[in-house]
Chains A and B, each alone.
Chain A
């Protein structure tokens, strides 16, 4: 067997491994219901759920409650199916949580609570100014 064919086989094997590992770790967004059943089946890792903070009829955000020592925060997130879920985030409340349009929580269920390791906030960017 020629060396070049051997190298070729190794390269192709690595490339296939790269593609497989990529597709297996690619995440996509789920609802809280799916997240719950995923957690039931032992997946407690990084599940992505996207939603909006709960608002009352007057359009004010409700259900955001920092802990007494401010080192953690709980808030209520409404997913795309309008399911409400209290989310516990074990870090100080992100300063821009209250003016974010969309919130992505990454984490998993533990004892019926959604424990977020991380939140990503999509804020209305004023990057493109359109008014004086």
Chain B
């Protein structure tokens, strides 16, 4: 065994950076707190000390993050984090995803975003610096404590990403050699090896971090008894947080859409809900803040909502990281034993914020007058209320596991399980709320831009209402929408688009481009609603199997949602001819997928040998006997060719199956054909595995061949015997010079001009005969090189055959899903326009001496 050295320095450095950042955040909290109490600004002693310390803290956090990335990047598998989240065969861009696969790394990225936002605030806002940064630094105390990894007796504070493997695992090899380093890591979960997983998590944590900004301003305002001025600097951050968190949520949905196979982008999974709820409240708070800026009302509501947004982010963190969701969610983190620490973090801020707000409540100014029905305040307030009800409806069932735990803590028993059909359960409620939101966002805009009374309102609304009704009627007659609920969604969505477009056009006419953010974002939201209605409500199974009746106990609907495709055997499905052509793997440096049957295994699944020349798209990429490298051999791609029955147009989809070791199961991912008006979404529900116990093999048939070039049949395919030769080595054994290995050559001619080489082996090792069974998927046969007759050179093969190779697929149509994605982009653009506008407002006021 070679003596290995382990790099202790880098981990120690990382750990020290975390400790420095933790200590510095405590000092910064104290210094900024003092400064806030003394109302210090700019160059005063406490505030400048706090600033220096916070910058030191931020630099230490950056250094810790860089250190962790280097450990992953350099494959330092002596460290647990690198070993359990990365591997030698991982592509570099997925090493970035490794960083946040574990809880420690995702805490670190969150802490990093907070530090960077802190830097921006220090640079842009001197007036509020001391109290705002006190709150920031205090949050950082809690976040850095999560990754401290300090153990004192039985007390564990945080979980360090810089811990050595030997300190986590008790393995005999460490006793023999404490410096043992594994050659490879266990890798990033293959499901997460997807570009969305490189950007979705940091985006989510940036969204989380951004909710801290308005929260800090709000707490600062309450603390200073400056109840109104905090809104102006906080508003652009709130809007920016809304767009970042919203985009992150949709990115996660898109990842699920193309990676998982529940046939959609949103599953109302507890982890999705946990982030959706704070986002709704954030959007509500944004609206009430805008109302306040316009007319000095809704201040108390704004304070409550801004505080709630941040507390709900903490609650979401607790839900997803404490292990409490356990069985309820498919993708929550496992418990790291931090639930106690997470609870302390949650309760400090819940109690602190509520107590502070309660103490100040009496002093917060309110406007006495009741808002008129013809005022924008009233309508936006109703809108915010609707958003809060939406959030309430989602958070109640999502919190079942928490209720169960609380009841158990008091000695009771509660086994509330989430609703059986969660999609249907949540959707039936959320849908009506969404309709209300669309109508309100269409109507509210008119109140927003002009003074209204009954007569004016009628004239303003008449045109949009008429246009929307006509448009909707055209759409639902041409798209054949007869479901009354969907008609209501469509009308509400179109109404919101039409009336917001009217506002948008009048703003453009008056050259107020900067003010268009609201109307553009609302158009985007309404488009998303319509896109969701079409793609979910009218999602259709294309793979209707009309030939099958298996049981009278089944309804028509249950009986026929999947079709079986046999290899090279075309089948008409929903106006297309479907043809299952091959199973392939993706090799480095070679386009497309290489048929499994052209490859022979080696001892390392990442390397396979070409047993025929590899020719893709007419270009030869590998010769016979070349070794090819496969970065992800766990992924198999099934080639399914679609040919349109009338136009003859063709496209090919490659749905994927993945033997996922991390999850202990096979994961099925769809492939999606995007057309202008729909997506065709296809996944393999079951791929045949000839190795499984359910495959029925025929009796062995012995074939005797005595001359080269002789023809015989294997499973009804013509095969030609090309002789045999002695070979020097085999993959499954080490041969000594006395041993003999012989390989026969058979070529089989299959459909579509495909021919396959079969090379069964006949090995004598230490006097023992070994005749491995060779399985070929394409011709559904097993062959054994049974014997060689030295007298006349004849050989015998035994052949077993099975039913042909097949896959069972489900194919879905998602109509008009592009409206959802276009709407998302439109919404993002609107948000960015609004963010810019509010930031410019703040900067102008700041430069005049207000902040």
Contact = CB atoms under 8 A, between A and B. Distances in A.
B365 interface: no
B685 A91 contact: yes
Given A22-B397, A95-B666, A69 B420 contact: no
A15 B382 CA distance: 15
A81 to B, nearest CB: 16
A80 to B, nearest CB: 12
B200 to A, nearest CB: 19
Contacts of A70: 564, 686, 688, 694, 806, 808
A11 interface: yes
Contact of A125 (B415, B663, B689): B663
Contact of B665 (A69, A121, A129): A121
B694 A66 contact: yes
Contacts of A115: 553-554
Given A21-B429, A71-B564, A15 B417 contact: no
A87 to B, nearest CB: 12
Given A92-B562, A92-B808, A130-B169, A125 B664 contact: yes
A113 interface: yes
Interface in B539-575: 545, 548, 550-551, 553-554, 558-559, 561-562, 564
A26 B417 contact: yes
Contact of A90 (B385, B554, B688): B554
B392 A15 contact: yes
B715 interface: no
Contacts of A18: 389, 392-393, 396, 429
A23 B390 CA distance: 17
A64 B437 CA distance: 50
Interface string B660-685: 01111110100000000000000001
A4 interface: yes
Interface residues on B, range: 35 or more
Interface string A18-41: 110110011111000000000000
Interface string B60-88: 00000000000000000000000010000
Q: Which of B189, B662, B688, B806 has the most CB of A within 10 A?
A: B662
Given A18-B393, A88-B551, A69 B564 contact: yes
Contacts of A121: 665
Nearest to B165: A132
Contact of A71 (B327, B385, B421, B548): B548
Given A14-B389, A21-B429, A71-B808, A110 B553 contact: yes
15 contacts: A3-B370, A4-B370, A11-B385, A25-B425, A27-B420, A45-B420, A90-B550, A90-B558, A92-B685, A95-B686, A110-B553, A124-B664, A126-B662, A127-B662, A129-B186
Interface of A: 2-4, 7, 11, 14-15, 18-19, 21-22, 25-29, 45-46, 48, 66-67, 69-72, 88, 90-93, 95-96, 99, 106, 110-111, 113, 115, 117, 121-132
Interface of B: 84, 169, 171, 173, 182, 186, 189, 327, 334, 370-371, 373, 378, 382, 385, 389, 392-393, 396-397, 400, 415-421, 425, 429, 545, 548, 550-551, 553-554, 558-559, 561-562, 564, 657, 661-666, 668, 685-686, 688-689, 694, 806, 808
